[in-house]
């Protein structure tokens, strides 16, 4: 039984040397990507785990015996050559198998306490009876399709120091001999220095937060480049299908964190942050070897590359047979961005593939974990409002539904409060969702709703438009035949123009128009400005905590049908206006006072920009 990590380090080096040579030849690299096809592999079927020896290998590989220094298998760990012209020969010797099981190395695994303990820990993680015995259920779980990344990883700091000590212990038994290596040192060196450069660049892009070194590192850039490598296309899906699934997977993460992902087809390879590729068995210069059909389906390197086992039957988003490439990609991107495995129902970071679960949803806790690394999305809005629409119910009654919308420049999001996020596929272009209004920078929206009026208006600059919800487009003209847009000064005499924002207050049936530090009330019944206005906003909507007030230049004021409250929004902050209910609870509150400020992102989660290139894809 050869302990896994060392065997594969050697395998990796061997392959990486071969690749270097092939690279230089006339043959294009991708022709050789499937050399494993013509090698005499015993079978392209993953070996079933039946024996204790196989189980032991499995447990070692996935970190149940000792945490695995997974990241150290990555190319990042290739040391710099010492001599310019010398290949790092000392690297290509294989060591004595270091004892992972202490003195038990000769013992049958079934008798080894370390084996039994690791088996129990695996059983615990998987929520199956903790027997310490390789029973049928345990075998079944081990043979499920799963991600190749260990469940228990050593922190890179820890393994880095352990690595140096084990490398020096490693002395020659199985010398790696290949005719290629003899002819390769110079190219090798070039390749190595490229790698080292890549590593240095990567390190510089990474920042470390307080806390332990592994979970606290993340990419420091807000735009990450990815590429499906040409030498790593899947044999089973069209290239466009592969790319579109990957685009969608990256997009899903960009809906969670303030990081944008761009497919980059032109930069040099070392500029690409996340390279993806499909391969079988030995693949893409990777230290790990895929196992054929079944079991391992993919793996990812922390802040690095993602490989898919092309022996698996990957399928696009429109098929429920096979393994969903989208699910796997979302999971592996999670790793590449820094997340470890999670044994939690509903998490996209579960190590096993869950076939019966059809929708891919990055849930609340996954989001929180990723946001701990990359922060949350925040930013100002042009306008925010609840849109109410009327629908006929099954019984023929009219029912009203509403959703909260957030507008930013030329894009808008619909917020789904019950799931704490925006609708999938948002943001959408304003002029696609709302036909006939200006395509960007809408100042305000109001919904005037009284016993005899039900009208929606959008405002921009000195103009306004009335919207026709039944035909889902602007009215071209008002009942008197005057065409929209109309001047604010004509429709709402006495109101300021342009405005920062406005809202309709159903309590007094006034529209409140905001501009600068002033507010003007306009009576919809009298169709005129309320006398005494404009007034200072701080006087009409006073602070309840001294100094805690937006004063002026408010981005949006909106009435929420969910909480029956008015909100003032400015930049990334909001203030809730005290309601009558609040005043019953606390009679000392001033009428229309503003409660303490809060972050918009604390109440409306994950309203994230996505990169231009992936706007308008997704699941709308
Ligand atoms: C790395 O490990 C050493 C001890 O092995 C410790 O002193 C150091 O603080 C660790 N660094 C980080 C970033 O955790
Ligand atoms: C090395 O590995 C051992 C066990 O695998 C662990 O106890 C130790 O903390 C690691 N780190 C160092 C610096 O030795
Ligand atoms: C291998 O290492 C052992 C001790 O770790 C040493 O006794 C032995 O001489 C070494 N063999 C070679 C070939 O370096
Ligand atoms: C290495 O080259 C020798 C001749 O130079 C050849 O006989 C041998 O088969 C080659 N070995 C491999 C592994 O290619
Ligand atoms: C949104 O939903 C949360 C529960 O997740 C609830 O506490 C909150 O009051 C809701 N807020 C709004 C504005 O709908
Ligand atoms: C929504 O957010 C609240 C915290 O504000 C959390 O307790 C709840 O579980 C979340 N619900 C969903 C469906 O994500
Ligand atoms: Ca496999
Ligand atoms: Ca505004
Ligand atoms: Zn994984
Ligand atoms: Zn790989």
Q: Among 361, 365, 368, 420, which is best to mutate for testing ligand 6, by the most ligand atoms less than 8 A from CB?
A: 420
- Asked whether the predicted pLDDT for residue 433 surpasses 50, the reply is yes
pLDDT tens per residue across span 584-615: 999 999 999 999 999 999 999 999 999 888 87
Buried b (16+ CB within 10 A) or exposed e, 38-71: eeeeeeeebeebeebebbbbbbbbbbbbbbbbbb
In this structure, which ligand is nearest to the CA of 169? 3
Q: Closest Cα to atom 5, ligand 2: which residue?
A: 66
Which residue from 499, 500, 504 is spatially nearest to 560, judged by alpha carbons?
504
Name the active-site residue from 188, 296, 332, 369: 332
Separation of alpha carbons 445 and 455, rounded Å: 11
Residues placed in the known binding site: 273, 283, 291-292, 299, 305, 307, 309-310, 312, 331, 335, 341, 349, 397, 399, 443, 502, 555, 557
CA 438 distance to own-chain centroid: 31
Ligand 3 neighbourhood includes 172 CB (under 6 angstroms): yes
Q: What is the pLDDT of residue 421?
A: 93
Q: Among 154, 155, 157, 210, which is best to mutate for testing ligand 1, by the most ligand atoms less than 8 A from CB?
A: 157
Q: What mean pLDDT is predicted for residues 76-103?
A: 38
Q: Closest Cα to atom 2, ligand 3: which residue?
A: 171
Q: Among 384, 562, 581, which is best to mutate for testing ligand 5, by the most ligand atoms less than 8 A from CB?
A: 562
Q: Taking ligand 8, which is a single-atom ion, which protein residues have CB atoms under 5 Å away?
A: 382-383, 443, 501, 555
Q: Closest Cα to atom 5, ligand 6: which residue?
A: 603
Ligand 1 neighbourhood includes 161 CB (under 6 angstroms): yes
Q: What mean pLDDT is predicted for residues 436-449?
A: 96
Instruction: Report how far apart, in Å, the C-alpha atoms of 381 and of each of 165, 260, 443, 574 are.
Output: 55, 19, 10, 11
In this structure, which ligand is nearest to the CA of 445? 8
pTM score, two decimals?
Answer: 0.75
Ligand 3 neighbourhood includes 171 CB (under 6 angstroms): yes
Indicate which atom in ligand 1 lies nearest the CA of residue 212. 14
* Gap from CA of 506 to ligand 5 centroid (Å): 22
Residue 448 sits at φ, ψ, to 5 deg, of -90, 120
CA 290 distance to own-chain centroid: 26
Instruction: Report how far apart, in Å, the C-alpha atoms of 542 and of each of 74, 501, 517, 537, 549 are.
Output: 59, 18, 12, 7, 8
Separation of alpha carbons 274 and 218, rounded Å: 13
Maximum mean pLDDT: which of 26-30, 77-81, 109-113, 173-177? 109-113
590: left (phi over 0), alpha (psi -120 to 50) or beta: beta
- Check: CB of residue 119 under 8 Å from CB of residue 270: no
Which domains are assigned to the chain?
Answer: 4-373 (3.40.390.10), 383-604 (2.110.10.10)
pLDDT tens per residue across span 142-195: 999 999 999 998 765 443 333 332 222 222 332 333 333 333 333 333 333 333
Q: What is the pLDDT of residue 614?
A: 80
* Gap from CA of 292 to ligand 10 centroid (Å): 13
pLDDT tens per residue across span 114-139: 899 999 999 999 999 999 999 999 99
Q: What mean pLDDT is predicted for residues 239-248?
A: 95
Separation of alpha carbons 263 and 54, rounded Å: 39
- Check: CB of residue 478 under 8 Å from CB of residue 466: yes
Ligand 1 neighbourhood includes 213 CB (under 6 angstroms): yes
Separation of alpha carbons 474 and 465, rounded Å: 7
Confidence of residue 219 (pLDDT cuts 50, 70, 90): confident
Q: Would residue 332 show up in a list of annotated catalytic residues for this protein?
A: yes
Q: Closest Cα to atom 14, ligand 5: which residue?
A: 562
* Gap from CA of 90 to ligand 4 centroid (Å): 22
Q: Among 345, 359, 364, 418, which is best to mutate for testing ligand 6, by the most ligand atoms less than 8 A from CB?
A: 364
pLDDT tens per residue across span 499-538: 999 999 999 999 999 999 999 999 999 999 999 999 999 9
* Gap from CA of 542 to ligand 6 centroid (Å): 31
* Gap from CA of 182 to ligand 10 centroid (Å): 26
Confidence of residue 618 (pLDDT cuts 50, 70, 90): low
Q: Closest Cα to atom 7, ligand 3: which residue?
A: 171
Q: What is the DSSP string of 41-63?
A: -S-SBPPP--SHHHHHHHHHHTT
Which residue from 561, 571, 550 is spatially nearest to 382, judged by alpha carbons?
571
């Amino acid at each position: 039984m050869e302990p896994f990590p060392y065997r594969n380090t050697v395998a990796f080096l061997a392959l990486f040397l071969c690749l270097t040579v092939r690279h230089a030849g006339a043959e294009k690299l991708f022709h050789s990507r499937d050399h494993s096809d013509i090698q005499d592999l015993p079978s392209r079927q993953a070996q079933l785990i039946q024996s204790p020896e196989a189980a032991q290998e499995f447990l070692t590989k996935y970190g149940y015996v000792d945490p695995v220094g997974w990241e150290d298998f990555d190319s990042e760990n290739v040391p710099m050559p010492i001599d310019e012209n010398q290949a790092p020969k000392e690297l290509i010797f294989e060591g004595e198998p270091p004892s992972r099981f202490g003195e038990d190395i000769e013992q049958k695994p079934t008798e080894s306490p370390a084996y039994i303990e690791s088996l129990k820990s695996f059983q615990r993680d998987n929520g199956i009876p903790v027997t310490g015995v390789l029973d049928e259920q345990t075998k079944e779980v081990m043979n499920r399709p799963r991600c190749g990344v260990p469940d228990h990883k050593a922190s890179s700091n820890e393994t880095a120091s352990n690595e140096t000590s084990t490398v020096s212990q490693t002395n020659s038994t199985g010398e790696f001999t290949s005719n290629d290596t003899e002819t390769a040192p110079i190219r090798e060196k070039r390749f190595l220095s490229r790698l080292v450069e890549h590593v240095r660049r990567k390190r510089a892009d990474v920042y470390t937060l307080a806390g332990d070194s592994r979970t606290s590192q993340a990419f420091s850039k807000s735009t990450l480049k990815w590429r499906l490598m040409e030498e790593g296309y899947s044999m089973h899906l069209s290239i466009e299908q592969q790319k579109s699934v990957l685009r969608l997977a990256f997009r899903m993460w960009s809906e969670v964190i303030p990081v944008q992902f761009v497919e980059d087809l032109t930069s040099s390879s070392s500029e690409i942050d996340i390279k993806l590729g499909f391969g079988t068995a030995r693949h893409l210069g990777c230290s790990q070897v895929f196992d054929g059909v079944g079991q391992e389906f993919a793996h990812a390197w922390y802040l690095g590359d993602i490989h898919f086992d092309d022996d698996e039957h990957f399928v696009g988003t429109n098929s429920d047979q096979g393994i969903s490439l989208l699910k796997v990609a979302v999971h592996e991107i999670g790793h590449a961005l820094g997340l470890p495995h999670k044994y939690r129902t509903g998490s996209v970071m579960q190590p096993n593939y869950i076939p019966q679960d059809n929708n891919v949803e990055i849930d609340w806790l996954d989001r929180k974990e990723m946001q701990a690394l990359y922060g949350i999305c925040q930013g100002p809005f042009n306008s925010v409002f609840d849109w109410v629409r009327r629908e006929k119910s099954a019984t023929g009654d009219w029912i009203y539904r509403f959703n909260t919308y957030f507008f930013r420049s030329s894009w808008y999001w619909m917020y789904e409060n019950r799931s704490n996020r925006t609708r999938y596929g948002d943001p959408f272009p304003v002029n696609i969702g709302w036909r006939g209004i200006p395509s960007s920078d809408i100042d305000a929206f109001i919904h005037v709703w009284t016993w005899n009026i039900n009208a929606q208006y959008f405002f921009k600059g000195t103009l306004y438009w009335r919207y026709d919800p039944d035909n889902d487009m602007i009215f071209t003209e008002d009942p008197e035949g005057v065409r929209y847009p109309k001047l604010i000064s004509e429709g709402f005499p006495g109101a300021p123009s342009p405005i920062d924002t406005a809202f309709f207050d159903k309590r007094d049936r006034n529209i409140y128009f905001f501009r600068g530090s002033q507010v003007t009330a306009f009576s919809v019944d009298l169709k005129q400005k309320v006398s005494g206005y404009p007034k200072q906003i701080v006087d009409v909507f006073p602070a309840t905590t001294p100094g805690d007030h937006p004063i002026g230049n408010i981005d949006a004021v909106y009435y929420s049908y969910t909480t029956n409250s008015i909100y003032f929004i400015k930049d990334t902050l909001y203030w809730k206006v005290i309601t009558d209910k609040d005043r019953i609870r606390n009679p000392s509150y001033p009428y229309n006072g503003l409660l303490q400020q809060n972050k918009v992102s604390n109440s409306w989660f994950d309203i994230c920009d996505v990169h231009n290139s992936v706007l308008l894809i997704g699941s709308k």
